[in-house]
């Protein structure tokens, strides 16, 4: 029997049910979805005989929670955390190095750089990890307006909404194919004549229930959204190819899913292949402490073939089952002002800025004035995944928005603004803030203005980096950070996981970046596009080679200072020939050596007279390239004709500073 069904039968919530198991004497984990029928009936019987079990449990719950709260606030320092804060500012707030904060975020499945913003929910989790007791910073009227008037970042409510599902797993294990197969078989497309549009997410139907699928597979979408603190996905499908088993990205995906505490179902894919070995996958999962249900554990696995469609319905049923168990968390309030998350964003030639929003709570309506990250606008039109214009989007609906004044970033939060006047005010404030922020970026100032001393402007090597795993991505970034040059720096304009796509090429082109792929391939379209647009692309399987190439790009941009290297001295003994700007003299090398094609400063009574170039050296009749100290020689000079006997020549060369 399902845990939810059992909970319903004894009139408790599924969460209460999970708490009650150990009290009733059963060791059933909190993630259990099903319980043995005999056990279920025993529990029902126990509760029927003594209903005070539940009352006692509920009574005990109250004081316990208060106690815990009292203890924790007593021992921890209170920390006032704003609704939204950059990672850098947050590091200052918790008095930790930015790198430590970034690492802590990564542990929680959030990939964020120092300028990225995290919301209160995320910041407070990390602050707690650092031993603080976070409390929301009081916001005045303006701050609230800047948050789009939203006081409720965390979408809550009591109306069930469709679950949002993200597909993750190793490259080539069939994530895209699986999403395509589900889309083809389960999207109701009668109105659009069968043509579904790619907007970043779609809704499929199974047994009259909707499921929202995030259409960008892999960690990318997930981490991008998490990077801004939005918990978008309710359930993950972990795709593992039955002919390949668990791979590095599978393991990373497991880590990310687990640290984000997202329930998941494993889809063992490609079972149509003769070499498929689903048992091996079960074994590998078990070795990772993920004991499959079929082996008596709690991890749901479904054998599927994204190619033939086999098992897809069972997979959707499993997703719905998880959704049922998690129903307490998959709720929203369609009546509150809408809050959404950007899952895709670009500028369309015809339509202008276009963003796909996943409505998390509330209902988004055409005509609403909205603030999305740093962008504002009024919704001119909304289209669903079938390309159909809609006027209302309830929770868990992905919608393409037209009418924004700019392009927001993936993961940004959408809020409703009260009216247009406050929208204008917000826009002004944001511009002001951005300018102030830019001014604090001293390096960028050097880069754009240069300095009197340096003369040249600081230069950048722009890099778009695609890697196979988060681990290798981080390793490469860390190595790139060690490349230092006086007036050139490496700027990673985009990083991501997976193959190099045409979007990567376009983004690289827009900023003049080179695209680097580590252990990934380049899609055919992207390759053609890169050639057409002249975007340099390099794929490597050895980190060292990749770093070396970046170093070469940096070296090519460095302007080296010339330094003078002294070679030796000579005394002028005689003048043999004087022409306009050239002379032949006789001299004695008194120190070091004379070298052809070097320079010589001509000194007379300790005062510099002129500088000349040594064009030829003769020892006797023989032309040589070098003459050592203590030797008399003939020297041809270029650049001046006013050298006299007894002048001193100081030989030197100019080398580029390393």
Name the residues that contact ligand GDP, by CB under 6 A: 169, 171-177, 217, 269-270, 272-273, 305-307
What are the Cα distances from residue 396, in Å, to 223, 295, 332, 491, 506?
19, 34, 9, 36, 30
**Closest residue to bound ligand GDP by CB:** 174
Min CB(246)–ligand GDP separation in Å: 14
**Angle of the 98-107 helix axis to the 87-94 helix axis, nearest 10:** 110
Closer residue to ligand GDP, CB minimum distance, 175 or 383 = 175
Q: Which two tokens stand for residue 415?
A: 């809020």
Complex with ligand GDP: residue 175 or 183, whichever CB lies closer: 175
Angle at 219 between CA 214 and CA 220, to 5 degrees: 75
Given the complex with ligand GDP, which of 306 and 515 has the nearer CB atom?
A: 306
Kindly state the smallest distance separating residue 213's Cβ from ligand GDP, in Å: 13
Q: With respect to ligand GDP, which residue has the nearer C-beta, 123 or 171?
A: 171
Tell me the closest approach of the beta carbon of residue 164 to ligand GDP, in angstroms: 19
Q: In the complex with ligand GDP, which residue's Cβ is closer, 273 or 571?
A: 273
Supply the minimum distance, in Å, between the C-beta of residue 546 and ligand GDP: 21
Min CB(233)–ligand GDP separation in Å: 17
* Residue with Cβ nearer ligand GDP (285 or 330): 285
Q: What's the rounded Cα separation, in Å, for the pair 423 and 471? A: 41
**Cβ atoms < 10 Å from Cβ of 40:** 19
SS3 of residue 621 by DSSP: coil
Nearer to ligand GDP, 33 or 240 (CB): 240
For the residues of 335-400, what is the DSSP string, one character each?
Answer: TSBPEEEEEEEEEETTTEEEEEEEEEESBEETT-EEEETTEEEEEEEEE-TTS-EESEE-TT-EEE
CB of 269 to ligand GDP, least distance (A): 5
Q: Which is nearer to ligand GDP, 175 or 400 (CB)?
A: 175
Q: Are 331 and 161 in contact (CB under 8 A)?
A: yes
- The smaller minimum CB distance to ligand GDP, of residues 239 and 488, is found at 239
- Residue 25 zone, left/alpha/beta (φ > 0; ψ -120 to 50; rest): left
Q: How far is CA 171 from CA 222, 252, 497, in A?
A: 15, 12, 9
Q: How far is the CB of 543 from ligand GDP (least distance, A)?
A: 22
Q: Choose between 173 and 400: whose C-beta lies nearer to ligand GDP.
A: 173
CB of 266 to ligand GDP, least distance (A): 14
Nearest residue (CB) to ligand GDP, 6 versus 237: 237
Which alpha helices (H) appear in 76-116, and where do they start and end?
A: 87-94, 98-107
Range 323-354 burial, b when 16+ CB lie within 10 A, else e: bbbbbeebbbbbebbbbbbbbbbeeeeeeebb
> Which of these, 333, 334, 268, 341, lies nearest to 306 by C-alpha position?
268
Tokens linked to 347 = 């500028």
CB of 177 to ligand GDP, least distance (A): 3
Q: How far is the CB of 160 from ligand GDP (least distance, A)?
A: 30
Contact 288, 301 (CB under 8 A): no
Q: How far is the CB of 519 from ligand GDP (least distance, A)?
A: 13
Cβ of residue 521: shortest distance to ligand GDP, in angstroms? 10
Structure tokens at 495: 């990083």
117: left (phi over 0), alpha (psi -120 to 50) or beta: beta
Q: Calculate the CA 40 to chain-centre distance.
A: 45
19 vs 172 by CB, closer to ligand GDP: 172
User: In whole angstroms, what is the distance from residue 130 CA to residue 338 CA?
Assistant: 33
User: Could you give the CA distance from residue 427 to residue 436 in angstroms, rounded to a whole number?
Assistant: 14
What span, in angstroms and rounded, lies between the C-alpha atoms of 457 and 455?
7
């Amino acid at each position: 029997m399902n845990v939810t069904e059992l909970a319903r039968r004894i009139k408790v919530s599924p969460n209460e049910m999970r708490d009650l198991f150990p009290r009733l004497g059963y060791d059933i984990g909190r993630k259990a979805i099903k319980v043995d029928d005999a056990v279920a009936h025993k529990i029902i019987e126990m509760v029927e005989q003594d209903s005070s079990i539940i009352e006692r449990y509920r009574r005990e719950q109250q004081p316990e929670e208060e106690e815990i709260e009292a203890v924790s606030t007593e021992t921890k320092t209170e920390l006032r955390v704003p609704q939204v804060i950059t990672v850098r500012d947050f590091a200052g707030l918790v008095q930790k190095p930015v790198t430590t904060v970034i690492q802590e975020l990564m542990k929680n499945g959030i990939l964020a750089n120092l300028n990225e913003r995290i919301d209160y929910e995320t910041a407070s989790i990390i602050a707690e990890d650092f031993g603080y007791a976070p409390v929301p910073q009081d916001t005045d009227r303006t701050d609230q307006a800047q948050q789009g008037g939203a006081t409720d970042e965390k979408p809550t409510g009591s109306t069930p909404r469709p679950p949002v599902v993200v597909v993750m797993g190793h490259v080539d294990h069939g994530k895209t194919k699986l999403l395509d197969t589900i889309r083809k078989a389960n999207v109701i497309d009668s109105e659009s004549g069968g043509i579904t549009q790619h907007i970043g997410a779609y809704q499929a139907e199974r047994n009259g229930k909707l499921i929202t699928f995030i259409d960008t597979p892999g960690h990318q979408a997930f981490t991008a959204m998490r990077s801004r603190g939005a918990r978008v996905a309710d359930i993950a499908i972990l795709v593992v190819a039955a002919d390949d088993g668990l791979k590095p990205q599978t393991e990373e995906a497991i880590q990310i899913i687990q640290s984000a505490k997202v329930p998941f179902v494993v889809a063992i894919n490609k079972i149509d292949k003769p070499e498929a070995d689903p048992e091996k996958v079960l074994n590998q999962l078990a070795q990772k402490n993920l004991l499959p249900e079929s082996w008596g554990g709690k991890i749901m696995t479904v054998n599927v073939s994204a190619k033939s469609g086999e098992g897809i319905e069972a997979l959707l049923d499993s997703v719905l089952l998880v959704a049922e168990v998690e129903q307490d968390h998959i709720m929203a309030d369609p009546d509150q002002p809408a809050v959404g998350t950007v899952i895709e964003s670009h500028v369309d030639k015809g339509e202008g800025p276009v963003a796909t929003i996943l409505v998390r709570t509330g209902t988004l309506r055409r005509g609403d004035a909205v603030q999305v990250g740093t962008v504002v606008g009024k919704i001119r039109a909304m289209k669903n995944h079938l390309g159909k214009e809609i006027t209302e989007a309830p929770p868990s609906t992905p919608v393409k928005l037209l009418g924004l004044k700019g392009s927001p970033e993936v993961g940004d939060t959408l809020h409703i603004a009260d009216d247009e006047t406050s929208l204008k005010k917000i826009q002004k404030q944001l511009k002001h803030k951005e300018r102030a922020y830019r001014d604090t970026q001293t390096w960028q100032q050097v880069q754009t203005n240069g300095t009197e001393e340096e003369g040249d402007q600081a230069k950048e090597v722009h890099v778009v980096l695609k890697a196979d795993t988060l681990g290798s991505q981080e390793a490469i970034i860390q190595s790139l950070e060690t490349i230092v040059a006086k007036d050139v720096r490496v700027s990673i304009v985009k990083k991501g996981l997976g193959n190099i796509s045409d979007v990567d090429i376009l983004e690289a082109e827009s900023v003049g970046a080179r695209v680097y792929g580590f252990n990934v391939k380049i899609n055919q379209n992207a390759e053609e596009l890169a050639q057409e647009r002249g975007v340099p692309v390099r794929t490597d399987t050895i980190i060292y080679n990749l770093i070396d190439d970046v170093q070469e790009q940096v070296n090519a941009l460095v302007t080296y200072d010339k330094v003078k290297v002294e070679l030796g001295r000579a005394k002028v003994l005689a003048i043999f020939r004087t022409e306009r700007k050239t002379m032949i003299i006789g001299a004695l090398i008194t120190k070091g050596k004379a070298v052809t094609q070097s320079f010589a400063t001509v000194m007379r009574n300790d005062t510099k007279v002129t500088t000349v170039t040594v064009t030829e050296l003769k020892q006797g009749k023989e032309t040589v390239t070098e003459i050592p100290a203590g030797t008399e020689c003939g020297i041809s000079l270029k650049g001046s004709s006013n050298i006299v006997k007894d002048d001193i020549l100081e030989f030197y060369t100019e080398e580029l500073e390393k």
